């Protein structure tokens, strides 16, 4: 038997940080900045697309349906391109070059999105999809190769690595979201691109640390593959298999692209009618169902060719994949309908002591994790500065920038105050259903004072972190049920936007009366960081639970995760029951407690289910089929993301025709029913898994 040269790995492990090779932490920070950029952009997209086109921070005023169609296609493709990216890396580029190519393409994508034109948006999303395909599968493959001869350390390495994932998501959503909502959308999109660029540079400059790890592949003979893979066996596809793969791939791709293109651009890539009248089933739905049927025929046809035990295990994986789809449909509402709910129907304004408490909690929530990660950077710098000084300098610049933005953000929130503003309005009596009510219509360009009318002085409240003086003239604009303060620059821009739209301005001019107590308005994006925070807070508890004697079976974990997900939406359904049917954005707002509790339950559900899925794919599937089944798994997540965004886009329609409570009840019933079903299937799943735990 030939001896294996482990010198490269031995040398790699000489420089350790926290008991692991320094190279792991280079990958940690590369992944952190990539996730910072990805989640920083993701948390903005639906908010930006659906925000009113005229306002203090204007968006594009798309319908939720159109925005959901675009986002769903983007999210779906994100989980399909890694299949191709992994193949390219395995055969041609190697893992390290693939990661670098992905980083460069994603950087260009973020830069394109910061331009805020329709073409640049589509181009940016396309580049992000392609770049993720190269990046996502291959950075984890580098870790796997690093620990080839120390498999016992691999679990700990992945735990550290996934802390980088959550740290990046946490700070990306917080900081990109804050800049986008407080300063302007291009600042948020731009910040995501800046850190993607920094992540690319620090990874490129760290090349000397990796040696041959992740290098381009050396072509292997069949005999060498057999020696490297325990149960290697050629897995040939028949001619029919290949035809079915091509046909179903084309159908799936056309459906993904046709959905947003037909809704947004009115261009149909698939016929409106096919076999049935479009009033019964639309053409795209019929064609998609045919594609699903052909795909199932392909999968079943391949599975039956294997021996019984392998066949049973693959069936188990497919069943888990099906329930994964049912999990992601509600879970990914966090990117669509829950963003709209947070913005339009959640009371996010805190005053006085409540504002002070939030600011203190938010400071601790932000500064403590950042201090810990900065300490890790210090340890990495001590071990590797002599070998990769450029990479360490780039990381230092990154953290200096993050600290600067964090300090600025916290200072802004601590200095924000509420101000009373007097303005002139006309008293109008209205009779609705026999009842008389009084409303005051502010005097604006769109509603000038008419002959014979008199005005009365009214008071509104605005908030600003600028020091406003009593008697100072200010502009205010009503948006989503709340008056927004406009400085001189934003005031001019608003008036210009009204003029360009051929409308008269609804800007209200008034005079500051006095300053009130401290006030803070929590950003829409802040709620999205709760998922990452709760993961970090509870991950170790679940890890210990799974290692204890009380470790439940895979099916029971799935059942528990799905049911708890449903509980989260039951909380939202109850909270939103106080919002009347058809109530417009900002008319009625409910406590933020419901949204916080929902994110808590959703995260607990995720911890029960999400890490378990990929683990069981690797345990149940023989090595010779691992790539195929991981592809199946990512396909399931892609389907879940696409369906989630499409259903999330129905939030406005269901609120208009029924109510928000009905909308969230849909996502209560789906996971709870699925959780109960897979729990009932537990004995069957155990038999199919043949002792794998």
Domain boundaries, the chain: 417-464+466-521, 524-693
CA distance 421 to 419: 6
| Per-residue pLDDT at 5 exceeds 60 | no
* Lowest mean pLDDT, pick from 67-76, 286-295, 320-329: 286-295
79 band by pLDDT with thresholds 50, 70 and 90: confident
| Per-residue pLDDT at 348 exceeds 80 | yes
The pLDDT tens digits for 256-289 are 999 999 999 889 888 888 877 777 778 888 888 8
Please compute the mean of the pLDDT values over residues 480-496 and round it to a whole number.
93
Length of the chain: 693
> What would the DSSP string read from start to end of 259-321?
HHIIIII---SS-S-BSB-TTTS-HHHHHHHHHHHHHHHHHHHHHTTS-HHHHHHHHHHHHHH
The pLDDT tens digits for 179-216 are 999 999 999 999 999 999 999 999 999 988 887 887 78
Return the percentage of the chain with pLDDT > 90, whole number.
59
| Per-residue pLDDT at 1 exceeds 50 | no
| Per-residue pLDDT at 4 exceeds 60 | no
CA distance 390 to 396: 10
Residue 9 pLDDT: 52
Find where tokens 């008071």 sit: 459
Please compute the mean of the pLDDT values over residues 132-154 and round it to a whole number.
80
In the predicted model, what is the mean pLDDT of the chain?
A: 88
Residue 100 pLDDT: 93
Residue 431 pLDDT: 78
| Per-residue pLDDT at 345 exceeds 80 | yes
631 band by pLDDT with thresholds 50, 70 and 90: confident
Second CATH level (architecture) for the domain 524-693: Up-down Bundle (1.20)
Residue 626 pLDDT: 66
509 against 157, higher pLDDT:
509
C-alpha torsion 556→562→563→565, nearest 10? 140
The pLDDT tens digits for 543-581 are 788 778 888 888 999 999 999 999 999 999 999 999 999
| Per-residue pLDDT at 72 exceeds 90 | yes
Closest by CA to 129, choosing from 29, 260, 251, 246, is 260
| Per-residue pLDDT at 539 exceeds 70 | yes
The pLDDT tens digits for 145-188 are 877 777 767 767 777 888 888 899 999 999 999 999 999 999 99
CA angle 331, 533, 349 (to 5 degrees): 85
Residue 223 pLDDT: 61
683 band by pLDDT with thresholds 50, 70 and 90: very high
Q: Is the dihedral of CA 176, 177, 179, 183 positive or negative?
A: positive
Q: Is the dihedral of CA 151, 152, 157, 158 positive or negative?
A: positive
Q: What is the pTM of this model?
A: 0.91
């Amino acid at each position: 038997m030939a001896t294996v040269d482990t010198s490269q790995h031995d040398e790699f492990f000489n420089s350790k940080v926290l008991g692991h090779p320094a190279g792991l932490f280079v990958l940690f920070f590369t992944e952190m900045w990539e996730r910072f950029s990805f989640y920083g952009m993701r948390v903005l997209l639906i908010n930006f697309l659906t925000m009113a086109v005229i306002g203090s921070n204007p968006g594009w005023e798309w319908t939720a349906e159109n925005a959901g169609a675009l986002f769903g296609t983007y999210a779906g493709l994100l989980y399909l391109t890694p299949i191709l990216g992994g193949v390219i890396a395995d055969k041609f580029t190697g893992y390290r070059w693939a990661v670098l190519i992905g980083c460069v393409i994603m950087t260009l994508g973020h830069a394109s999105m910061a331009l805020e034109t329709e073409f640049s948006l589509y181009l940016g999303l396309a580049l992000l999809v392609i770049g993720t395909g190269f990046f996502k599968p291959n950075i984890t493959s580098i870790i796997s190769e690093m620990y080839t001869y120390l498999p016992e350390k691999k679990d700990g390495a992945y735990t550290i690595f996934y802390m980088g994932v959550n740290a990046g998501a946490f700070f990306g959503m917080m900081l990109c979201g804050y800049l986008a909502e407080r300063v302007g959308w291009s600042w948020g999109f731009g910040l995501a691109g800046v850190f993607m660029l920094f992540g690319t540079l620090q990874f490129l400059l760290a090349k000397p640390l990796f040696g041959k790890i992740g290098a381009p592949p050396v072509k292997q003979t069949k005999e060498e593959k057999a020696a490297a893979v325990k149960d290697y066996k050629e897995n040939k596809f028949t001619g029919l298999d290949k035809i079915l793969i091509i046909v179903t791939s084309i159908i799936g791709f056309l459906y993904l692209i046709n959905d947003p293109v037909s809704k947004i651009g009115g261009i149909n890539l698939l016929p409106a009618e096919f076999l049935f009248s479009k009033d019964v089933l639309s053409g795209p739905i019929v064609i998609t169902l045919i594609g699903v049927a052909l795909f199932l025929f392909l999968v079943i046809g391949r599975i039956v060719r294997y021996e019984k035990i392998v066949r049973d295990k693959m069936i188990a994986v497919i069943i888990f994949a099906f329930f994964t789809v049912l999990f992601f449909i509600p879970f990914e509402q966090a990117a669509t309908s829950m963003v709209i709910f947070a913005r339009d129907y959640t009371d996010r304004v805190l005053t006085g002591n409540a504002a002070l408490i939030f600011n203190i909690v938010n400071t601790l929530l932000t500064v403590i994790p950042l201090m810990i990660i900065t300490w890790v950077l210090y340890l990495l710098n001590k071990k590797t500065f002599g070998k990769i000084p450029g990479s360490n300098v780039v990381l230092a610049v990154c953290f200096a920038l993050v600290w600067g933005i964090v300090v600025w953000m916290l200072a802004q929130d601590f200095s924000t105050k509420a101000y009373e503003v007097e303005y002139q309005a006309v008293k109008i009596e209205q009779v609705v259903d026999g009842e008389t009510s009084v409303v005051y219509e502010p005097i604006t360009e769109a509603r000038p004072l008419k002959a014979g009318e008199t005005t009365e002085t009214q008071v509104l409240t605005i908030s600003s972190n600028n020091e406003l003086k009593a008697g100072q003239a200010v502009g205010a604009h009503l948006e989503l049920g709340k008056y927004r303060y406009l400085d001189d620059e934003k005031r001019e821009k608003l008036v210009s936007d009204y003029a360009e739209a051929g409308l008269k301005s609804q800007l209200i001019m008034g005079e500051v009366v006095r300053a009130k107590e401290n006030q803070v308005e929590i950003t829409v994006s802040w709620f999205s960081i709760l998922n990452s925070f709760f993961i970090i807070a509870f991950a170790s508890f679940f890890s210990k639970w799974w290692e204890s004697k009380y470790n439940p079976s895979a099916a029971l974990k799935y059942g528990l995760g799905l049911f708890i997900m449903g509980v989260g939406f039951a909380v939202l359904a109850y909270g939103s029951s106080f919002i009347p049917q058809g109530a417009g954005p900002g008319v009625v707002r409910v406590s933020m407690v419901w949204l916080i509790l929902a994110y808590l339950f959703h995260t607990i559900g995720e911890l029960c289910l999400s890490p378990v899925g990929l683990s069981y794919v690797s345990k149940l599937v023989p090595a010779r089929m691992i790539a195929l089944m991981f592809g199946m798994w990512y396909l399931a997540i892609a389907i879940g993301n696409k369906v989630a965004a499409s259903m999330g886009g129905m939030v406005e329609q269901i609120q208009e025709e029924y109510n928000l409570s009905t909308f969230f009840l849909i996502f209560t019933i789906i996971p709870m029913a699925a959780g109960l079903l897979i729990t009932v299937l537990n004995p069957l799943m155990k038999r199919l898994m043949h002792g794998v735990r």
